[in-house]
Amino acid sequence: MTRVKAGMVLALAAGLMATSAGFAQQPEGKSRRRRVEEKPLELTPAQVTELTKVANERKLKVEDLFAAAKTYTPSGVMDEYVLFSSGGQSGQVFAIGVPSMRLLRSIAVFTPESWQGYGFAGDNDPVRAQMRINGRDVTWGDTHHPALSETGGDYDGQFLFIGDKANARMGVVDLRDWETKQIVKNPLTVSDHGAAFVTPNTEYVVESGQYATVLGYGYATPDKYKESYRGMVTFWKFDRAKGRVDTSASFAMELPPYWQDLADAGKGPSDGLVFINSFNVEMATGGVEKGKPPFEAGASQRDTDYLHIIDWKKAEAAFKAGKAEKINGFPVLSLATSVAEGLLFFTPEPKSPHGVDVTPNGQYAIVAGKLDPHVTVFSTAKIRDAIANQKFSGKDEFGVNVLAFDAVKEAQVELGLGPLHTQFDDKGYAYTSLFLDSAVARWSLGGEYASKHPEKPWTLVTKTPVHYNIGHLCAAEGDTVSPDGKYLIAMNKWSVDRFLTTGPLLPQNFQLVDISSGGTTMPVLYDMPVGVGEPHYCQMIKADKLKSWAVYPEVGWNPHTQSLDPNSPKQGKEGVIRDGSQVIVNMTAIRSHFTPEHVEVNEGDHVTWRIVAVERTQDATHGFCIGGYNINLSLEPGEYQEFSFVADRPGTYPIYCTEFCSALHLEMMGYLHVKPANAVGSK
């Protein structure tokens, strides 16, 4: 009746699709990138006419055509950079290709995400276990500041660290498989600034606090603010070989209850120092409900706050020498110790700064005071000198020595309203976001950078308007020892009218800015709506530095341990093993079936389910779910997972592959039969 090609159907039906047959058109290895045309492109007059017609039909301007040509990335051509962006209160990290500005992937960190099978592995899910705080499931995060691991002050493409401001946690992502391996909860504070910054060889990941609390999750009313509340900075020791933070080798420092903000580590001549901004040195405690000034006013009264300067190498030595005290079981260098040992200094910085950013050569730390139209440039050599020679202008209320501003200041540059954050390029320019101006400012650096650009040192060169209300910005490798220039991302907080209205909740707007020319040319090339979270900060790495795995190294790989798992089921040895009410399921998954297809258990059984994807082809991912049981896995080629649950709901439950894997994907299913307790034994 229907003329079916019998051979094909038989082949499919016989399960030959279980191998990679049928997945045509997958180039291998070297030929993966599209071959470059030998002959350069030339436009004929007819093509110019036609292109002009297309442009006019879409009401494009000449500059739009250029922006299109500078960003359009054809099928199979790879982006040059990857932008790792925090996802704000989505709790995730987003990886975005540059210059195409396409969201390549989300990486789940603090919030369970079922596409990645992250946090949906039953009762003893190791991901969920790490999310627990004080016995409570805290299944979201507010990711603010991702930090790529560094070697010699340059991104090495190995790991990514990301903080959770809301709950003072830090996640560790392994960039071989782009999965979160560890979540560390700060034992001192409930919330921080979500800051994660690394020292130049990723010796430590620096987590700076934000809103002062009673360290160790304590309680105190605001009238006890000065005596009971404290800030903190934590130095998480990173074990690169294990790919994990070593909490036992980590320590913290007590800080005054100013609100610490962004941090940056010194490099080159300033290696060994960490800089942290602060605001609310007023120690305002709000209380608008009692007729007091709200925090926004109370914390903005003084002209200056304190830039915190920490000698982390000396602090590490003090910690190792046993000079730390324990708070909530965690070693903390007290303020008194820090002062006595010369670990901590302040210097005044303009009013309510947000970003502190060290120049690539390590010679300057630049502070953007958001309520001050200037950026302030501090000389790290002068800071070292002022520390060595005790050029103090006094002490703060907690006894910390304050370096004389004039002794450490190099320059101040007036840029405009609301400067927040500064990045760098390869031409001796700095770029600062201006929140209130809704603009990116390019300005010239001085010192040894002065010879790299034609402008006068320390001067504003140009501003480009952005849309709207830019928070952070990010230049290509723009906070490393060797920035690339080329591209800059303006991370705009509001989009308002830039995109279609998506209900009352609008996307943010990442704008790609072309910084490849110097001088006053700095066009916006592309608007990217970000409608999956509210990113705060990002870092942009050259794509070829990433050495991602295409598939897991071996079949049976456990991504939680990053090693071959001895429990991984073997093909031919699948089945169900029962020991009393303890049941172990050993299952394999391959296009297009699970083995076994039927799993029978009794109501109340404790089920441990082991499953491995026996696939070696890139992109041959399977899913695995149990309907109604809140279980979903993503099983990438070679991946092994174990999950467990109590079979407390009787019934016959479909199990199926949730990732469309082959033409017979819909047939890749089975059933979990949970025999009702009242029927057990009656079969």
Residues in 240-279 at the binding interface with its own copies, rule: CB under 8 A: 259, 261, 279
User: How many CB atoms are located within 10 Å of the residue 46 CB?
Assistant: 8
Strand partners, 171: 162, 183
Site string for its own copies, 439-458 (x = CB under 8 A): --------------------
Q: How open is the CA angle 565-571-575, to the nearest 5 degrees?
A: 90
User: Of these, 181, 237, 308, 354, which contacts its own copies (CB under 8 A)?
Assistant: 354
Rounded to the nearest whole angstrom, what is the least distance from the CB of residue 612 to its own copies in the complex? 13
Find out whether 487 and 428 touch, Cβ atoms under 8 Å. no
Interface with its own copies, residue 88, by CB under 8 A: yes
Record the tokens describing residue 112, joined without a space. 């369970």
Rounded to the nearest whole angstrom, what is the least distance from the CB of residue 585 to its own copies in the complex? 11
User: Of these, 288, 317, 336, 340, which contacts its own copies (CB under 8 A)?
Assistant: 288
Tally of residues, the chain: 683
Interface with its own copies, residue 334, by CB under 8 A: no
User: Of these, 129, 297, 317, 577, which contacts its own copies (CB under 8 A)?
Assistant: 297
- 655 sits in which H/E element: strand 651-656
12 or 450: CB nearest its own copies: 12
- CA-nearest of 547, 678, 655, 530 to 604 is 678
User: How many CB atoms are located within 10 Å of the residue 676 CB?
Assistant: 13
Interface with its own copies, residue 392, by CB under 8 A: no
Find out whether 364 and 358 touch, Cβ atoms under 8 Å. yes
Interface with its own copies, residue 404, by CB under 8 A: no
- CA-nearest of 178, 107, 175 to 141 is 107
Distance between CA atoms of residues 96 and 296, nearest Å:
34
User: Of these, 147, 196, 214, 584, which contacts its own copies (CB under 8 A)?
Assistant: 214
Find out whether 463 and 441 touch, Cβ atoms under 8 Å. yes
Rounded to the nearest whole angstrom, what is the least distance from the CB of residue 486 to its own copies in the complex? 12
User: Of these, 469, 568, 641, 644, which contacts its own copies (CB under 8 A)?
Assistant: 469
Find out whether 162 and 170 touch, Cβ atoms under 8 Å. yes
User: Of these, 233, 551, 589, 612, which contacts its own copies (CB under 8 A)?
Assistant: 551
Q: How many helices (H) and strands (E) does the chain have?
A: 10, 46
214 or 365: CB nearest its own copies: 214
45 or 580: CB nearest its own copies: 45
Site for its own copies in 150-189 (CB under 8 A): 166-168, 175-179
Site for its own copies in 489-508 (CB under 8 A): 493-507
Interface with its own copies, residue 97, by CB under 8 A: yes
Site for its own copies in 652-671 (CB under 8 A): 652-654, 656, 658-661, 663-664, 666-671
130 or 338: CB nearest its own copies: 130
Strand partners, 542: 81
Interface with its own copies, residue 22, by CB under 8 A: yes
Distance between CA atoms of residues 169 and 134, nearest Å:
13
Alpha helices for 265-334 (secondary structure H): 295-298, 312-320
Interface with its own copies, residue 12, by CB under 8 A: yes
280 or 380: CB nearest its own copies: 280
User: Of these, 355, 360, 373, 485, which contacts its own copies (CB under 8 A)?
Assistant: 373
User: How many CB atoms are located within 10 Å of the residue 29 CB?
Assistant: 5
Interface with its own copies, residue 532, by CB under 8 A: yes
For 1-119, where are the E strands, in sequence order?
81-86, 92-98, 102-108
31 or 248: CB nearest its own copies: 31
